[in-house]
Amino acid sequence: MDDTTAGTPLNDEPALPGFPAMPASAAPASPYRVLARKYRPKTFDDLIGQEAMVRTLSNAFETGRIPQAWMLTGVRGVGKTTTARILARGLNYQKADGSGAPTIHMPELGVHCQAIMESRHVDVLEMDAASHTGIDDVRQIIDGIRYSPVAARYKVYIIDEVHMLSEKAFNAFLKTLEEPPPHAKFIFATTEIRKVPVTILSRCQRFDLRRIEADKLVAHLSRICQSEGVKADAEALAAIARAAEGSARDSLSLMDQAIAHGAGVVTPDTVRDMLGLADRTQVIDLFEAVMRGDVPAAFAGLRSQYDAGADPGVILSDLAAFSHIVTRLKLIPEAARDPALSEIERTRGTDYAGKLSVRTLSRAWQILLKGIPEVQASNRPIAAAEMVLVRLAYAADLPTPDEALRALKDGASLPEGGPAPSRPSGPAISGTMALATSQAQPQLRPQVPQAEPTMRLRRFEDVVALAGEKREIVLKAQLERDVRLVRFEEGRIELSLTETGSRTIANDLTRALQQWTGERWMVALSSEEGQQTLHEKAVAAERERREGAANHPLVQAVLSKFPGAQIVNVIERSEKAGEDAETEILGEEDAAAAHETEEDDDLF
């Protein structure tokens, strides 16, 4: 090695005495910057999904209506700290020739821009409230705010996770935040806006940064992949966008991991393996199996995904997510154009949306929503997941309450529940799917005409019961609470109103009865006082039952034996037709157990 080579400095730095400089070929490579930092927005034009906030700030800057403090709130990774830095840059934007004013349009780097973006500007101070929570930290800010900025136009204080400040620290901020010096601006960021005192919020201009929509995240990830020269499948990007849940930083972190996992190629399989997700095709097949009531096929599908490494709780979450997709496609067909949906979700989801009823989908969603926490809390998650699928498969065969009432009314037989063993288990869904279409269970969906001329209403209570059967809940409540019966005959009703009654109820009831019975009814309002309302009668009957139970010798003996005991409820139960009603007194534990049993029965 000659003297010329030995004395060559590296990166224009002199060699240390006694040590030869490293040759240029041995220079260390620049450290890798993760995508979330490399593609961090530098201007408001780079922000995605926050158009409303950018429009408001643009108008405020152009008209000179710049507040003294901003409060940025939203979930993690939507750009709160980044927006704060861009806002600080816009407040202090100044070109090299000294011109410039506060603006959100920054086509080129200004004098202070680079230092602000790198968090090293002397007049833009960032503080992490999670590690500086006390009043002493706030006192330092208050003491320093009196001095003018050193180089920039404004002194900007960016306080991240401001909800972590103590109560005394917040109180110390109040006066300064309300009347700061003209050269000072505050920018707060928080993920827990409800923990910030309202006295602080009232002194700030608040911006709620929205979760970034899946299609915008997919487009953003696609642009970054093109810039990085990475091959990425659209379905894989959609899976990453779903897992990010509206967070740009989370999506870029997952993209970094997916690129490393797939050695530069991002495919749906690599993303599923990386995230421990279930195969979307297998999830949809599992959805079809449980909707068809095919428990063996459902168990096989669940076990196959579990053996491949998928978590049972994640499988059920994906199953619930697909139920939601099918429901959206049924109610909003335009949702099929959502770029976050894969092709198989779009095609098969649209197919199921045309075959499944909203009630079936809603019931499946409720069962899954209740079953997911059970699986996550169980020490045997795969067994708990199988029991949720059993519950879902059996519920798919059961009629809804209104279908059961119609079937009983028309004398049709009801299924006992449970999957039919003779159903096909092929991949294609057929017309025999439980509760899928009107031809799936014709005995449960009789064609009931709107007008029923043979219907006989002999009492006012029959009219109220008919309103409940027809799902006229508002009218039923008015008839129970707002009217008093004066006179009732077939075809004619006279009512008097309570203080809260509406005078339109007579016309409403006339139209409803004509539609329900096919006959003309005359409903008139009377000036006579009339009987008690049905609600008043029910309250009086309940009071009488409680008094009767309290006067029972056995009950009195129990109450005297257990001081402080109370009568929670009185239920009249008839064991079989023709027998007298038996009164049962329930304690608190029995009442709770009965309520829990009723809830469990509702699931089936």
Task: Please write down the HEC assignment for all residues of 134-166.
Answer: CHHHHHHHHHHCCCCCCCCCCEEEEEECHHHCC
CATH of 214-275, one of 3.40.50.300, 1.10.3720.10, 1.20.1530.20, 1.10.8.60: 1.10.8.60
Least confident of 62-76, 351-365, 427-441, 571-585: 427-441
Say what the pLDDT of residue 279 is.
67
Q: What is the mean pLDDT of residues 13-21?
A: 45
DSSP3 helix / strand / coil % (the chain, rounded to 5)? 50, 10, 40
Q: Six-digit token pair at 392?
A: 């879902």
E strand or H helix at 485: strand 483-489
More confident residue, 6 or 260: 260
Torsion of CA 219, 222, 226, 232, to 10 degrees: -160
Phi, psi angles (nearest 5°) of residue 185: -135, 145
pLDDT at 54: 87
Question: What token pair was written down for 547?
Answer: 């008094």
Q: pLDDT tens across 269-316, in order?
A: 888 777 766 567 888 889 999 988 888 999 998 998 888 778 888 889
**460-531: CATH architecture:** 2-Layer Sandwich (3.30)
Among 360, 357, 351, 325, CA closest to 429: 351
The CATH T-level fold of domain 280-438 is: Zinc Finger, Delta Prime; domain 3 (1.20.272)
Residue with tokens 């996992």: 261
Q: Where are the domains of the chain?
A: 1-30, 36-208, 214-275, 280-438, 460-531, 552-602
Q: Which of 78-87, 192-201, 497-506 has the lowest mean pLDDT?
A: 497-506
CA 29, 34, 37: angle at the middle one, nearest 5? 110
Q: Which of 308-322, 332-346, 577-591 has the lowest mean pLDDT?
A: 577-591
pLDDT of residue 534: 87
Beta pairing, strands 69-73 & 124-128 = unpaired
Q: What CA–CA distances, in Å, run from 50 to 159, 207, 217, 260, 345?
A: 21, 10, 12, 30, 28
Sorting pLDDT into bands at 50, 70 and 90, what band is 582?
Answer: very low
Determine the residue type at 557. Answer: A
Alpha carbon distance 327, 596 (integer Å): 28
- The secondary structure element, H or E, covering residue 524 is strand 522-525
Q: Which residues of 61-89 are buried (b: 16+ CB within 10 A; e: fewer)?
A: beeeeeebbbbbbbeebbbbbbbbbbbbb
Q: What is the tens place of the pLDDT at every residue in 92-112?
A: 998 888 787 888 888 888 888
CA separation, residue 201 to residues 70, 193, 194 (Å): 9, 9, 10
- What is the DSSP code (8-state) at residue 399? P
pLDDT greater than 90 at residue 477: no
| Residue 180 φ/ψ, nearest 5 degrees | -75, 160
User: Using CA atoms, how far apart are residues 335 and 340, in angstroms rounded to an integer?
Assistant: 10
Q: What letter does residue 333 receive in the DSSP assignment?
A: G
Question: What integer pLDDT is reported at residue 387 of this predicted model?
Answer: 93
Sign of CA dihedral 579, 584, 590, 594: positive
Please report where in the chains the tokens 């449970």 appear, as a residue. 418
Burial status of residue 569 (CB atoms within 10 A of its CB: 0-12, 13-18, 19 or more): middle
Neighbouring-strand partners of residue 483: 497
Pairing relationship of beta strands 205-208 and 569-573 according to DSSP bridges:
unpaired
pLDDT class for 155, splitting at 50, 70, 90? very high
* pLDDT band (50, 70, 90) for residue 458: confident
Q: Between 16 and 225, where is the model more confident?
A: 225
Q: What is the pLDDT of residue 593?
A: 41
Average pLDDT for 329-338: 85
Going by the DSSP 8-state scheme, the letter that residue 13 receives in this structure is B
The pairing of strands 184-190 and 155-160 is: parallel
Q: Which of 156-165, 243-252, 413-422 has the lowest mean pLDDT?
A: 413-422
For 199-231, write each residue's pLDDT tens digit: 999 999 999 988 888 888 888 999 999 888 888
Instruction: Provide DSSP, 346-390.
Output: HHHHHHHHHHS-HHHHHHHHHHHHHHHHHHHH-SSHHHHHHHHHH
Taking a C-beta distance cutoff of 8 angstroms, is the pair 440, 433 a contact? yes
What contacts 545, CB < 8 A, 6 or more positions away?
Answer: 570, 572, 583
- pLDDT for 20: 46
Nearest Cα neighbor of 292 from 431, 434, 422, 440 is 434
**Do 518 and 451 touch, CB atoms closer than 8 A?**
yes
Closest to 82 in 3D by CA, of 255, 247, 302: 247
Q: Distance between CA 500 and CA 502 in Å, rounded?
A: 7
Q: Check: CATH 3.40.50.300 for 36-208?
A: yes
Residue from 439, 549, 520, 47 nearest 248 by CA: 47
More confident site: 530 or 161: 161
Return all residues near 299 (Cβ < 8 A) that are at least 6 apart.
386, 389
Return the pLDDT at 443. 38
Over residues 362-370, the mean pLDDT reads 90
pLDDT at 116 over 70: yes
Alpha carbons within 13 A on the beta-carbon side of 54: 15
Tell which wins on pLDDT, 573 or 595: 573
Pick the range with the lowest mean pLDDT from 225-234, 326-335, 493-502, 590-599: 590-599
Query: What percent of the chain has a predicted confidence (pLDDT) above 90?
Result: 14
* Cα separation of the two ends of the chain: 86
- DSSP secondary structure, 430-449, as one string: -TTSTTSSTTTSGGGS----
**Angle of the 214-228 helix axis to the 248-261 helix axis, nearest 10:** 40
Position with higher pLDDT, 409 vs 460: 460
Mean pLDDT estimate for the chain: 78
Average of per-residue pLDDT across 333-360: 83
Question: What confidence score (pLDDT) does residue 7 get?
Answer: 41
